[in-house]
Amino acid sequence: MEKKMIPKKEFWMYSVGALGQGMIYATMSGFISDYYTNVLMLSSWFVFALMLLARVWDAINDPIMGIIADKYTTKWGKFKPYILFTAIPIAVLTFLMYWCPETMKDPVHIMIYCSVVYVLWGMIYTASDVPFWSLPNAMTGDPAERANTISFGRTLNGIGSAVPTVLYAVMGMLFKEESISSYKKRYLIMAIVASVIGIALFINSYFHVKERVIIPNKKKEKGEKGSLSRIFACKPLMLVIAMGVLSSGRYLMSSAATHVSRYAFDASATGVFTVLQICSAAGTFGSMLFMPMLMKKFDYKKIVIATCFSGFFASIVTTLVGWYTQNFYFCAPFILLQCIPLGVLNIVSYAMIGDCLDYMELMTGYRDTALGSACQGFVNKLGNSFATAGISLMYIYIGLKPSDSVNKDAMISAADLTGKQRFGMFSLVSIIPGISLLLCAIPILFYDLSGEKKKDVVEKLALARKEKGIVIE
């Protein structure tokens, strides 16, 4: 095992940067579909198409960005410069995402405006996200230290993602009127506060992180596979990616929260939203806090399978309790339990990809760090695209059209919906995420980069680097 390389200050500065990034991403992912559907009252079919196509395109950009980051090293570093040069554009676009000019009345013009801003935001965010989460691989060569850095970084990233949720709840208390104009103010204030503070924390990490593990680019020999081919040929990595894609339903717990609180139960929307988010945060962040300890004692494979199966069974109970009682608050304890696997997957997937990169380097001699990390970004964004597009499909399936409101500044409430419509919305945070958790555990049953095999890979890789004269300072 290699010596510890990351000083405490650097460890914390990277993690605080992750917290800031979480604030920015959650401002978009958790609320944008509600803003488009219930505030701007855009067509559900348009929102479905935008969420699906734009985010799939955004996900495709991740591997492209990974290849670029792996190929070039600048005078400012290999991965760090992307943090510095993308921060301000992301902050500006986050503001523009929730600011629609009052003079823009034509729905077609609004849709064009939203599409341009949304796509640009996704592309520039990708240019910072892939390098940022590649940094732990460059900060240390010790797999345990790398996993710990990722674990703590993802935990603070999750805490950061809760900040926009708190802001949204506070705005609900300040602007109690259930009107479109009120929600426009809530979302704009939330976007400004989250983007300014989040970007300040994120960009600060550039000045405190050191890249130590820079594996020299190996000259490609004739007949050797390219970087994408190496990725596809790595069975353990493909299984981790399959796990991530099949777990797409877990993103509904955050992205569908505003929709569920508005329409699933005939109760205070702010109250349901607050309790749902508290339970989600307690389950997700609680498990993330325990992950460093669990990852030292158990194989990642065992952790994933155990928690995903337990999350699935908890979702069944959540669904039955909600259906039978018609009372959201009785579901709260079970929602907390079904959110535990969310925190586990948030951390373990990154650590597993780090192990897969070690395995690939040992087998091929290449270290496709950014491309490997981009696979996780690809999975996250693809999963979010499926989740947010799924919300729009639910609106279409149950026949819910917010734009049908007679008074254009009023909003439809749960009391105006049928039982089928309310249950359809509730399923977005109950049985659908549960089924997704069950499915995602299946590919991990075949994952074998653990136990003695993982230990053997680490030892052989250290020897291979030493023979090549690669020194990690």
pLDDT band for position 447 (cuts 50, 70, 90): very high
Around 201, how many Cα atoms within 13 Å sit in the side-chain half-sphere?
22
- Report whether 164 contacts 31 (CB < 8 A): yes
**pLDDT for res 406:** 47
- Rounded Cα–Cα distance for residues 283 and 250 (Å): 12
Tell me: the pLDDT tens digits for 344-360? 998 888 889 888 988 98
Q: Is 77 helix (H, G, I), strand (E, B) or coil?
A: strand
Give the Cα separation of 319 and 235 in Å (integer). Answer: 35
| C-alpha span between 332 and 82 (Å, rounded) | 41
Structural contact between residues 262 and 429, judged by C-beta atoms closer than 8 angstroms: no
| Rounded Cα gap, residues 25 and 157, in angstroms | 9
Mean pLDDT within 257-271: 87
Q: 182 lies in a domain?
A: yes
Q: Which residue has the higher pLDDT, 470 or 294?
A: 294
The pLDDT of residue 156 is 92
CA–CA dist 347, 349 (Å, integer):
6
Measured distance CA(243)–CA(184) in Å, rounded: 37
**Residue 30: band (very low, low, confident or very high) from pLDDT cuts 50, 70, 90:** confident
Distance in angstroms (rounded) separating the CA atoms of residues 79 and 63 = 15
Which of 117-131, 221-235, 304-318, 388-402 is predicted least confidently? 221-235
Token pair listed for 414:
């749960």
Please report, as a single letter, which amino acid is at residue 353.
I
Q: Which two tokens stand for residue 167?
A: 């802001």
**pLDDT value at 103 more than 80:** no
pLDDT of residue 405: 57
Of 57-61, 165-169, 261-265, the poorest mean pLDDT is in 57-61
The predicted model gives 460-473 an average pLDDT of 76
Band (221; pLDDT cuts 50, 70, 90): low
Q: What is the mean pLDDT of residues 18-37?
A: 92
Q: What is the 3-state secondary structure (H, E, C) of 190-256?
A: HHHHHHHHHHHHHHHHHHCCCCCCCCCCCCCCCCCCCHHHHHHHCHHHHHHHHHHHHCHHHHHHHHC
pLDDT at 91: 93
**What average pLDDT does the segment 394-398 reach?**
93
Phi, psi of 339 (to 5 degrees): -90, -10
Is 214 inside a domain boundary? Answer: no
* pLDDT on residue 395: 93
pLDDT at residue number 218: 59
Higher pLDDT, 321 or 467: 321
Max Cα separation, the chain? 74
Residue 369 backbone class (left: φ over 0; alpha: ψ -120 to 50; beta: rest): alpha
Among 51-65, 122-136, 235-249, 297-311, which is the least confidently predicted range? 51-65
In this structure, what token pair is assigned to residue 204?
Answer: 């600060």
Determine the straight-line distance between the first and last CA of the chain, rounded to whole angstroms: 14
| Residue 472 lies inside a defined structural domain of this protein | no
Q: State the pLDDT at residue 473.
A: 55
C-beta separation of 267 from 417 below 8 A: no
- Based on its alpha-carbon atoms, the radius of gyration of the chain, rounded to whole angstroms, reads 22
Question: Which carries the bigger pLDDT value, residue 30 or residue 9?
Answer: 9
Range of 242's domain?
A: 8-206+226-467
Domain count, the chain: 1
136 token code pair = 């732990």
This prediction's pTM: 0.77
**37, part of any domain:** yes
Tens digit of each residue's pLDDT (9 = 90 or more) over 110-165: 999 999 999 999 999 999 998 998 888 888 878 788 888 888 898 899 889 889 98
| Confidence class for position 1, pLDDT limits 50, 70, 90 | very low
Q: Taking the CA of residue 80 as centre, how many other CA atoms within 13 Å lie in the half-sphere pointing to its CB?
A: 17
408: helix, coil or strand? coil
Q: For residue 231, what pLDDT is reported?
A: 85
CATH number of the domain where residue 81 is located: 1.20.1250.20
pLDDT of residue 148: 86
What are the tokens at 306?
């155990």
pLDDT of residue 78: 87
Q: Give domain status of residue 423, yes or no.
A: yes
Say what the pLDDT of residue 104 is: 81
Q: Is residue 30 part of a domain?
A: yes
Q: How confident is the model at residue 183 (pLDDT cuts 50, 70, 90)?
A: confident
Report the percentage of the chain scoring pLDDT > 70: 94
Domain assignment present for 213: no
Mean pLDDT in the chain?
87
Is the predicted pLDDT of residue 408 greater than 70, yes or no?
no
Residue 470 pLDDT > 70: no
pLDDT at 105: 81
Residue 411 has pLDDT above 70, yes or no: no
3-state helix, strand, coil in the chain (%, to 5): 80, 0, 20
Asked if pLDDT for residue 422 goes beyond 90, the answer is yes
Please give the backbone phi and psi of residue 88, each rounded to the nearest 5 degrees, phi first: -65, -45
Q: Considering the domain boundaries, does residue 473 fall inside one? A: no
Lowest model confidence (mean pLDDT) among 8-22, 38-52, 106-120, 176-190:
176-190
Percent of all residues in the chain with a pLDDT value above 90, rounded to a whole number: 43
pLDDT of 199 reads: 94
